[in-house]
Amino acid sequence: MSARIEYDLLLVGGSPSNLTLAYHFLELAKASGKEFTIAVLEKSKEFGAHIMSGAVSNPHILEKVWPNYKELGFPIEATCTESNLSVLGVEKKWDIPNAMVPKTMDKTGYLVLSLSFVTNWMARQLQEKAKDVPNVSMDLFTGFAAHGVVFEEGRVAGVCVSEDPKSEDDYVYGKFTCFGDKGFISRDVIDHFKLRNCPQIWSVGVKEVWQCKESYEGKVWHTLGWPLLEGTFGGGFVYGMKDNKLTIGMVISLDSRDPNMNPQQKLQDYKKHPWIQKMITGGKLLKYGAALLPEGGYYALPTKFAVPGGILLGDALGVLDVKNLAGIDRAMECGYVAAEVVHDALIKQDFSEAALAPYQERLTNSFVVKEAYNNRYFRWAFIENPKLLGEYLPEVARSIDKSSAMFGMWKVWFKHPFGAPVDGVRSLGLINGKFNIGPIKYEADYKHIIPSFVAPKYEEPQYDKATIYSRADAVFYSSTKYHEGNNHIDEFNAQVCVECIKRYEAVDKTTPCVSDCTAEVHRIDIVDQISKHGMSLENCIHCRTCEDVCPEVNLRVKPTSQGSGPDFLGL
C-alpha cells in the first residue's frame, strides 16, 4: 500500500496569490527556524503559461514582498507615462479631459506588465529563496493539475491529481490547502461549505500582443464605446510596451443580452477602429488568448474566506475590483496575509477553522475588502439601469463621429429631460458608493441572455484585412497543444444540447456556447438530420466562457492534464 503524500502547505495553482504566499512563508520560516513542507501544483507546463491579464498594476504590494524587485530583474514592459480614458465612436476617439477622469482610472506611474512573465519570474524567485531556507522542503510541480477536492471529516484534506484515481498515489494531502484558481476546483469548496449568498458574475478578457512599426511605450488607454454599443458592459484597453510591442484587448461581461456576442470577433471589430488601425497596420500579431475575470465584487465574496483545512485567495476568492481595474495587487495581498496566518497556525499545530479566522479579519480591515465595499454597487449601477449603456452611451458615441461628445451629452439630456438627470444622479451615487441600498444579489450570467435579441448594426470603418483574424486562425497564436485522449469539457446531457440548439435555431441564432467560444471549440453537427452539439477540444484555450453562458448549465470545463492547453507566456 502506498504511503500517504502529505504536506504542511499545499498550494493549488501557480497564481500570483499562491506564489506570494509561498515566498513570504519562506521568509517567515527562515526567521522561525521551524521545519515545514510545501508543494505547489501548477497545471500548465510552465509557471505562467496559463496566466493572462491586461495588466497595468500598482506596485505597492510587489514593493512590500520584493523591495529590490528591479535589481532582481522583475519583468517590466513599461511604466505608464500617459494614462487616458477614451470613448470611441465607430470612426473617431474622444479622450476624456483629465479633470473629468476618476482618480481610480489614472494609471500614471503604474507598471505595464505581462502577468505570464511576472508569474514565471515569481516562481524562479521562489526557487532561489528556497535554497536559502534549508528547514523548508519545497516541491514545485508543473504539469500537475488538481482534478478534485478531497474532503475528510468536515474539512479540506487535499486534492486528487488524477482524472481517474486508482490508488493513494493519485492524491496529495495538505494540513492546509490553498486555492488560487479561477474556479476550476475552488468552486467545489465554495459549494461544499455553502459559502455563496450571491452568485459570482464573470467577464471574459480577450487579448492580443502585436509587434508594431512604432513605439507606444508607456502610453495607456482604457476605452468605452465601439464595438460595445448594444448595452453590454465592458470596454477595451491598449497598452504600449517596450520593444515596439502593443497589448490590445477587451473585457466583456458575460451577462450580455446578446446570445451571439462572440468576444473574439468583438476584439477584431475593436481593432478595425481607425485609431487602432493606425498603430497595427504593417505590424505582426505575436500572441492571442482569453481568460475569465470574477467581477461581482464585495457582495459576491464568499461568506467565509477560509474553511477547515482550506483557504481561498485571489480569483478563487473574487477580489478583483472592477471600478479600480485592479486585481493583481489584491491577489498578492491575499497571499501575503495568508502566509502569516498559516505560519502561525502551523507553529501552534492548530488546524482548526478558528486558527484561520485572522485571515478574513485582516483582509476585511485591509484595502482589499475596504475598497471592494466602497465600490460594492459599481456593477449593479449598470445592471439596474440598462439605459446607461444601451441608450446613452451609443448616443454619445454617434455624436463623437458626427460632431462632439459634448453635443451627444446634450442630445441625451434633450431626449430624456427628466430621466437622464435622475439616472445620472442615481447611477453616479451607486458607482461612488454614496447610496446604501443594502445587500444585492446578482443573477447568473446566462439568465440575462435573450435568445431573440438583435444587436444594432453599424457601418464598419475601413480597415486592413491583414490585421483581422478569424477564431480558427487566432487559436494558432495561443500555442495550444493537448495530449492524446484529451477530454477536459464535460457535456452532462447530450439531449439537453439538442433541445437548446432547436430553441436557438427557431430564432435564427446559434447557441451561446458556439457563438461566444473564444477559440473554435464548440460546433453544431448534423447527425441523422438532427443538430447536435460537438466539440473540437484540441482548439480550447481554457477560458471557461462556454460554461458560464450555457443556458442549460450543461457544460463544465475541467483542469487540463499533463501540462496541456494554451501557452500564454508573453500575454
Strands of the 82-88 sheet, one edge to the other: 93-95, 82-88, 219-225, 234-240, 245-253, 202-211, 284-294
The cell for 526 is 448534423
pLDDT band at 403 (very low <50, low <70, confident <90, very high): confident
In terms of domains, do 360 and 388 share one?
no
pLDDT band at 407 (very low <50, low <70, confident <90, very high): confident
pLDDT in tens, 257-315: 999 999 999 999 999 999 999 999 999 999 999 999 999 999 999 999 999 999 999 99
Look at residues 385, 383, 253, 221 and name the one whose alpha carbon lies nearest to residue 322: 253
- Domain end, chosen from 355, 374, 393, is at 374
Look at residues 12, 306, 33, 29 and name the one whose alpha carbon lies nearest to residue 174: 12
Residue 44, amino acid: S
- 391 in a domain, yes or no? yes
Dihedral sign, Cα of residue 355, residue 152, residue 562, residue 202 = negative
Report the phi/psi class of residue 466: left, alpha or beta, with left for phi > 0 and alpha for psi in -120 to 50.
alpha
- 489 in a domain, yes or no? yes
In terms of domains, do 328 and 476 share one?
no
- 455 in a domain, yes or no? no
pLDDT in tens, 102-143: 998 999 999 999 999 999 999 999 999 999 999 999 999 999
Q: What percent of the chain has pLDDT over 70?
A: 99
How high is the mean pLDDT of the chain? Answer: 95
Helix (H, G, I), strand (E, B) or coil at 329: helix
**Residue for grid cell 437548446:** 500
- 413 in a domain, yes or no? yes
pLDDT of residue 184: 93
E-assigned strand segments in 3-60: 6-12, 36-42, 56-57
CATH number at residue 482: 3.30.70.20
In terms of domains, do 66 and 152 share one?
yes
Long-range pairs of 120-124 with CB within 8 A, sequence gap ≥ 24 = 120/46, 120/47, 120/48, 120/569, 121/73, 121/74, 121/75, 122/16, 122/19, 122/20, 122/23, 122/47, 123/14, 123/19, 123/40, 123/42, 123/47, 123/48, 124/47
Rounded to an integer, the average pLDDT of 409-432 is 83
Question: Taking 80 as the threshold, does the pLDDT of residue 408 lie above it?
Answer: no
- Domain end, chosen from 331, 356, 374, is at 374
In terms of domains, do 478 and 349 share one?
no
Expressed in percent and rounded to 5, the helix, strand and coil fractions of the chain are: 35, 25, 40
**Residue for grid cell 479622450:** 95
Question: Taking 90 as the threshold, does the pLDDT of residue 415 lie above it?
Answer: no
467 and 277 in contact (C-beta within 8 Å)? yes
- 281 in a domain, yes or no? no
pLDDT in tens, 175-212: 999 999 988 999 999 999 999 999 999 999 999 999 99
In terms of domains, do 414 and 491 share one?
no
In terms of domains, do 427 and 531 share one?
no
In terms of domains, do 527 and 432 share one?
no
Query: How many domains would you assign to the chain?
Result: 3
pTM for this one? 0.96
Rounded to an integer, the average pLDDT of 14-40 is 98
Q: What percent of the chain has pLDDT over 90?
A: 91
Domain that holds residue 514: 467-557
Question: Taking 70 as the threshold, does the pLDDT of residue 1 lie above it?
Answer: no
Dihedral through CA 454, CA 459, CA 464, CA 465, nearest 10? 40
Question: Taking 70 as the threshold, does the pLDDT of residue 247 lie above it?
Answer: yes
Rounded to an integer, the average pLDDT of 423-447 is 94
In terms of domains, do 384 and 365 share one?
no
- Domain end, chosen from 326, 346, 374, is at 374
In terms of domains, do 306 and 423 share one?
no
Higher pLDDT, residue 89 or 405: 89
pLDDT in tens, 443-454: 999 999 999 999
CATH number at residue 23: 3.50.50.60
pLDDT of residue 319: 97
pLDDT of residue 419: 74
In terms of domains, do 313 and 432 share one?
no
The cell for 74 is 522583475
Question: Taking 60 as the threshold, does the pLDDT of residue 402 lie above it?
Answer: yes
In terms of domains, do 351 and 487 share one?
no
E-assigned strand segments in 279-338: 284-294, 306-307, 310-312
Beta bridge partners of 158: 150, 173
pLDDT of residue 453: 96
Question: Taking 70 as the threshold, does the pLDDT of residue 2 lie above it?
Answer: no
pLDDT in tens, 479-533: 999 988 889 999 999 999 999 999 999 999 999 999 999 999 999 999 999 999 9
Residue 190, amino acid: I
Burial of 137: CB neighbours in 10 Å, binned 0-12, 13-18, 19+: middle
Report the phi/psi class of residue 71: left, alpha or beta, with left for phi > 0 and alpha for psi in -120 to 50.
alpha
- 260 in a domain, yes or no? no
Helix (H, G, I), strand (E, B) or coil at 47: coil
Look at residues 122, 145, 120 and name the one whose alpha carbon lies nearest to residue 48: 120
pLDDT of residue 417: 75
